[in-house]
Amino acid sequence: MGHLILRVTIKLLFAPIILFALYVQFHGDYGPGGGFQAGVTLAAAFILHALGFGLDRCQKVIPPGWLPVGMALGVLIYAGTGIYTMLLGGNFLDYDVIQPDSHHHAGQHIGIIVVELGVGLAVAATMLQIFYAFAAREPEPMDDAW
Amino acid sequence: MLLAEAVAPASELLAESEFPGLSAAFAVEIFILAMLAATAFAMIRMRQLFGVAMLSGIYSLLSAAFFVALDAVDVAFTEAAVGAGVSTVLVLSGIALTAKRELPVDRERTFLPLAIVLVVGAALVYATIDMPAFGDPNAPANVYVGAQYIERTPEDIEVPNIVTAVLASYRGFDTLGETVVVFTAGLACLLLLGAGSIRGGGRHDDEEH
């Protein structure tokens, strides 16, 4: 069990990174960030864990089969919001029709949150999928291989 | 509005300097740009690909710092997360699949790329002559729709972060396109590399090995 310092650091950082990703995801209306940044941050947490503890343990938590589903689901949530607003009689992605009676644009807020959720899911799944695709091909490189 | 308030103090703090003419913000920007150039030259000189990957991560981190200095926090955030974080790891995983060292190139073959780089670089420098000053309120990006977004976001959408309002609502269709691009990139990687990952994620070697 080498890399003791790395592993302890990764264990300390793992949960705060995920918490930060969720903060960025849901605070995107108010501060910098949004779905894209949150998705990448979330994927980075799992990639960091996989680098320290091995790909197998990461794939036990997030099986590779889930990731294509997550990628597609994210895009579908986004596009589905657009279809939903069309079904309500508005234009594609015209969020105002979700809550037409609201005086403080609740429809816009709901639409943005849902759409950002779709972006976050699609980006996080895609980033992890690309990492899995590369990292799963060969055994991890030895330390002296560089 | 909240975003502007949260971001403004950093640049104002930097702007207060004892030397008139040479503000601290300007000095910081010049320092970061010099570091960027030094990192780029180090990457060109280095043959060991592990070091090149690390330097490219440092380059992204410096770019992110530069974007913060320009008050573009959203862009800086993305650059730090994607450029310095994920893409460095992906390049490292790529290196693990190929050689660890870059082969030297014949001297005769370096002239054409050098000429292309010089011409493109000269064109870019020539283009900057026509560019408006940084933060110019009359710049084309800040009038027309840009001004409209800033004026109308508080009434239309009531979201404090105008960047989010533009990204997810005014330009929602564009962002849908970007999400599909990300999805397509993942799909392409899956098709080219990841067939083994679908079947339970088992590692597999190509039959030639």
Higher-pLDDT residue of A39 and B94 is: A39
Q: Which residues of chain B have pLDDT under 70?
A: 1-22, 194-209
Which residues, including other chains, have CB under 8 Å from residue B145's CB and lie 6 or more apart? none
What is the pLDDT, as a whole number, of residue B72? 86
Relative orientation angle of helices A4-26 and A106-135, to the nearest 10 degrees: 150
Q: Which chain A residues have a beta carbon less than 8 Å from that of B157? A: 105, 108, 112
> How far apart (Å, rounded) are the C-alpha atoms in residues A15 and A6?
15
B3, B156, B186 ranked by CB distance to A126: nearest: B186
Quick: pLDDT tens for A8-22. Answer: 999 999 999 999 999
> Does the pTM of the predicted model rise above 0.90?
no
Rounded distance between C-alpha atoms, residue B27 and residue A70, angstroms: 45
Give me B115's structure tokens: 């000429």
Could you give the 3-state DSSP secondary structure of residue B136? coil
Q: What is the pLDDT of residues B100-114, one digit of tens each?
A: 888 887 888 888 999
Q: Which residue of A has its CA nearest to B186?
A: A126
**How many domains does one find in chain A?**
1
Mean pLDDT, chain B, rounded, equals 80
CA–CA gap between residue B187 and residue B69 (Å, rounded): 36
Host domain of residue A14: 4-145
In this predicted structure, what is the pLDDT of residue B122? 96
Assess A142–B contact: CB distance below 8 Å, yes or no. Answer: no
Within 8 A by CB and 6+ apart from B49, the residues are: B95, B99, B100, B101, B102
Does residue A115 surpass a pLDDT of 70? yes
Does the beta carbon of B85 lie under 8 angstroms from any beta carbon of chain A?
A: yes
Q: Is B101 on the interface with A (CB under 8 A)?
A: no
Residue B72, SS3? coil
* Contacting residues of B for A71, CB less than 8 Å apart: 183, 186-187
Q: Which residue has the higher pLDDT, B160 or A140?
A: B160
Q: What is d(CA A99, CA A125) in angstroms, rounded to the nearest whole number?
A: 30
Say whether A40 and B82 touch across the interface (CB within 8 A): yes
Interchain contact, A132 vs B163, CB within 8 Å: no
Q: What is the pLDDT of residue A77?
A: 94
Q: How far is A17 from A12, CA to CA, in rounded Å? A: 9
pLDDT number for residue B162: 84
A50-88 confidence digits (pLDDT tens): 888 888 888 898 988 899 999 999 999 999 999 999 998
Residue A28 and residue B161: Cβ atoms within 8 Å? yes
Mean residue pLDDT across chain A: 86
> Which residue, A13, A40, A118, is CA-closest to A72?
A118
